[in-house]
């Protein structure tokens, strides 16, 4: 495992595209969060709504580079034929698969933490009237939202990695993941029956974004931790499917 981790980390560190995708995660998250907070007018120490969730809105866009990275870490090797070299160097596929997942997790944790903390900092600078306690890691709900959002990004990366291992095609995998993250929520909004609408919102992988909420929990389709649990189930299911197929199929 140690040799496999070293090999995967070397690939992550030396290939250009992962670095740009990780930087893109930070840039996209902070940029959208900045725009979202800059259009809010605060009066008398009150901005209205959930300011923590508002400052973390950039994750809706920042998750795209994470998803692409999760796909590319495995499907990119299938596309170039590099997967054969990888499996020749480390014949045990039960070692290669978790090594890639662990490397991906570490990279997303770092970039996700930077992106989320930078977004909160921007929120404190742009919304100076929200008070000392709001947007502070000393506040329990804010702390849960911040670190839960980082965990959400990790789960999205692992979900994408698992799907890409099953599909083995970059374009199809990216399209499938983005459809789950963006098209499914749009479809749920078009359903007239509120019960079915709520059910779709509860079952999709983007349900994990509810972890960002710090107020007005009654309006959420699913609770913060329960929503993150749904995303985790999606990620685990895709990893199990991908791991099993990687062991049974050839490298072509």
Average pLDDT over residues 44-73: 86
| 118: pLDDT strictly greater than 70 | yes
Which one has a higher pLDDT value, 156 or 247?
156
Rounded Cα distance, 195 and 129, in Å: 38
| 252: pLDDT strictly greater than 60 | no
Q: What is the pLDDT of residue 91?
A: 65
- Residue 21 parent element (H or E): helix 16-38
Average pLDDT over residues 186-192: 83
Considering only 60-64, 90-94, 114-118, 240-244, which range has the smallest mean pLDDT?
90-94
Name the pLDDT band for 155 (thresholds 50, 70, 90): very high
Considering only 16-20, 173-177, 239-243, which range has the smallest mean pLDDT?
16-20
Q: Provide the 3-class DSSP secondary structure of residue 46.
A: strand
Q: What is the pLDDT of residue 76?
A: 81
Q: What is the pLDDT of residue 250?
A: 65
Domain map of the chain by residue range?
A: 2-38+47-248
94-110 pLDDT, tens digit each: 788 898 999 999 999 99
Q: Provide the 3-class DSSP secondary structure of residue 43.
A: strand
Q: What is the pLDDT of residue 132?
A: 46
Q: Considering the chain, what percentage of its residues have pLDDT values greater than 70?
A: 91
Q: Considering the chain, what percentage of its residues have pLDDT values greater than 90?
A: 48
* Number of C-beta neighbours around residue 44 at 10 A: 6
Rounded Cα distance, 53 and 196, in Å: 25
- 242 contacts 165 by C-beta, under 8 angstroms: yes
Please name the residues in contact with 171: beta carbons below 8 A apart, sequence gap of 6 or more: none
Rounded Cα distance, 105 and 145, in Å: 19
Average pLDDT over residues 216-228: 88
Q: Provide the 3-class DSSP secondary structure of residue 178.
A: helix
| 233: pLDDT strictly greater than 80 | yes
Average pLDDT over residues 228-236: 97
- The burial of 250, by beta-carbon neighbours within 10 Å (0-12 exposed, 13-18 middle, 19 or more buried), is given as exposed
Mean pLDDT of the chain: 86
Q: What secondary structure does DSSP assign to 52-72, as a single string?
A: HHHHTTTHHHHHHHHHHHHHH
| 131: pLDDT strictly greater than 70 | no
| 239: pLDDT strictly greater than 80 | yes
Q: What is the pLDDT of residue 26?
A: 96
Name the pLDDT band for 43 (thresholds 50, 70, 90): low
157-174 pLDDT, tens digit each: 999 999 999 998 899 999
CA distances from 108 to 26, 156, 205 (A): 10, 10, 17
Please name the residues in contact with 164: beta carbons below 8 A apart, sequence gap of 6 or more: 70, 71, 72, 73, 74, 75, 170, 173, 242
């Amino acid at each position: 495992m140690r040799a496999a981790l070293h090999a995967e980390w070397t690939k992550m560190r030396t290939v250009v595209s992962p670095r740009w995708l990780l930087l893109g995660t930070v840039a996209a998250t902070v940029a959208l969060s900045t725009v979202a907070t800059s259009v809010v007018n605060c009066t008398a120490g009150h901005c209205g709504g959930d300011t923590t969730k508002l400052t973390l809105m950039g994750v809706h866009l920042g998750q795209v580079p994470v998803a692409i990275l999760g796909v590319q870490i495995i499907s990119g090797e299938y596309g170039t034929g590099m997967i054969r070299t990888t499996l020749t160097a480390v014949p045990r596929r039960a070692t290669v698969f978790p090594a890639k997942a662990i490397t991906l997790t570490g990279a997303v944790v770092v970039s996700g933490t930077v992106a989320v903390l930078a977004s909160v900092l921007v929120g404190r600078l742009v919304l100076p009237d929200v008070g000392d306690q709001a947007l502070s890691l000393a506040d329990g709900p804010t702390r849960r939202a911040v670190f839960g959002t980082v965990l959400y990004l990790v789960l999205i990366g692992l979900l994408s990695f698992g799907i890409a291992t099953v599909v083995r095609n970059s374009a199809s995998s990216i399209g499938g993941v983005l459809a789950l993250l963006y098209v499914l929520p749009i479809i749920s909004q078009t359903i007239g029956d509120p019960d079915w609408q709520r059910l779709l919102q509860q079952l999709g992988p983007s349900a994990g974004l509810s972890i960002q909420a710090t107020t007005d929990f009654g309006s959420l389709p699913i609770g913060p931790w329960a929503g993150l649990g749904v995303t985790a189930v999606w990620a685990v299911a895709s990893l199990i499917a991908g791991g099993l197929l990687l062991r049974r199929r050839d490298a072509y």
